[in-house]
Structure 1
Amino acid sequence: MKSKYLSVLLASTAFSVILILWELLARYSGWSEYVLPKPLKVFVSMWEMTADGTLLRHSVASLFRVTAGFYLAVLFGIPLGIVLGRWKKFHHFLNPVIQFFRPISPLAWIPLSMLWFGIGDKPAIFLIFMSSFFPLVISTTVEVISVRPVFFNVAANFNFSNFEVITKIILPAILPAVITALRIALGIAWVVVVAAEMIAVKSGLGYLILDSRNALRMDYVIAGMIIIGLIGLLLDTAMKRLGRFDFLAWHSIEK
């Protein structure tokens, strides 16, 4: 318990130091408020946008796109990773293709996604899918390959079907590592959606930042950045807590 309070205290201290440095820089750097607004002005602007529903509307739009793209990546990425890790022929067949597309930045797909899907949610969801899909496939494949062969030998002795092997052996063994991969992929997805919204859509936190920059409202820009950071922190904390659940007890078993 003391360790938890100490962590909160240290984190609060770090943010306080950042606020103080921000205030000092805004006061004495010589920059105009149009370039670097003071913290109080930014927080007042955040309150205004919260009161009129602007922040909520754009935050919900961004979260919807992240949720849709991320769920699609989970739906296709984890099963494909299990197949690649469990059956060598599929691994030799598809792994070179996966490794070819994996290094391509999700943002490089922006021109094609706009041509294929037009303007709106679809190109942003596609970019989020592409950013999350490959980390999940790679992580799942590696974890399945690392499962100890003795578990599969036991399953063979009990005449487990492929479905039983996956549900009773593979999934419990890889789940802790997959949770970590989900946490990383979700962070990447949140970064990508902000970039995608600056180009392909007319709503969302990325669009809010771009539109505010065009209007020379740097207080709105920084307010949008703060909300992005807060939501990202909450999402990461939620995924981190998910990894502590009791059903992940297999994590203590050596693979």
Structure 2
Amino acid sequence: MDRLNRIWPPLLVIAAIVAIWWIVVEQSGSLIFPTPGQVAAGTMELARNGTLWEHIGASLLRVATGFLIAVLVALPLGLWVGRVDAAYRTLNPVFQILRPISPIAWIPIAILWFGVGDMAPVFLIFLASVFPMILQTAAGVHAIDGRYLRAAENFGVPRAKLYRQVIVPAVLPEILTGMRIGLGVAWLVVVAAEMIVRSSGLGYLIMDSRNAGNRYDLVVAAMIIIGLIGLGLDVLMRRLEELRGVRWRYGR
């Protein structure tokens, strides 16, 4: 019953938005902007011929690749920067300068370096997600109660064991928070990044549908699918954050 009470209010809001959308389009007599029925029909058309799944798969693969590379770079770098004061003082200003630069601004450079294939979007996704994870992880290390670190050092705990059994468990909530932020930004960026690729992805689908006969039903369908997948990814990360081993940390 509690789950039902949480679900039906947003469903009612969505239903109201769809109804208003339908009424406005019908009353305006628009010949270009699609109704919800036309969007649903366009989505079914893409689903039946398999095009929809190809575009979704291409986008998810690019996000997964760029995000995984970002995780492999950001987590050890964030742990090191957060633990070593000299590294933090040296590198934090650099990260703070690079972080606000929109990944979209890197598109010309990405094209120059990687062309218009898959590597350019992967590079942009990496840039979008790596800095939030580095900074969030480093902030989590700084928030660890120093008593635990000093106690481990006094007992001669090796550095590798200190990271594995003290620092990483303590900072895990912040790591997942950074991953959630990074994944959300990565999914946002992939749509713009795919507008420069040749033949696949939801971003490419939007541009191709617009250019190939003004198929705005497919444009809106792709936008809705992007939103739904983004919601699903956020829900998945929230579920990870709610795990008992993640919610617990030192000093709480």
TM surpasses 0.5 = yes
Residue of structure 2 in register with 1:242 after alignment:
240
Candidates 96, 101, 105, aligned match of 2:98: 101
2:15 paired residue number:
16
Instruction: Give how far 1:3 is off.
Output: 2.5
**Structural mapping, 1:1-255, within 5 Å:** 2-32=1-31, 34=32, 36-215=33-212, 216-251=214-249, 253-254=250-251
1:153 to partner: Cα distance: 1.3
Provide Cα deviations, 1:173-231, integer angstroms capped at 9, x if missing partner: 11112212211111100010000001234210000000101120000101111111111
Q: Does structure 2 conserve the Cα–Cα contact (< 8 Å) formed by 1:114 and 1:200?
A: no
Return the alpha-carbon distance in structure 2 between the equivalents of residues 172 and 57 of structure 1: 38
Alpha-carbon distance, 1:14 to partner? 1.4
TM-score by length of 1: 0.95
Instruction: Report deviation, 1:99.
Output: 1.6
- What is the root-mean-square deviation of aligned Cα atoms in Å? 1.2
Q: Distance in 1 between matches of 2:14 and 2:169?
A: 38
Q: Which whole-Å CA distance do the structure 1 matches of 2:197 and 2:77 have between them?
A: 29
Identity %: 44
Equivalent residues, number: 251
> Partners in 2 of 1:191 and 1:150 — Cα distance?
40
Give unmatched runs, 5+ long, in structure 1. none
SS of 1:104's equivalent in the other structure is coil
Deviation at 1:111, TM superposition (A): 0.6
Structure 1 residue 236: Cα displacement: 0.9
TM-score (normalizing by structure 2):
0.96
1:12-46 CA distance string (max 9 Å, x none): 111111111111111112322x2x11111110110
Runs of 4+ in 1 over 6 A off after TM superposition: none
| Contact 1:128/1:193 (8 A) holds in 2 | yes
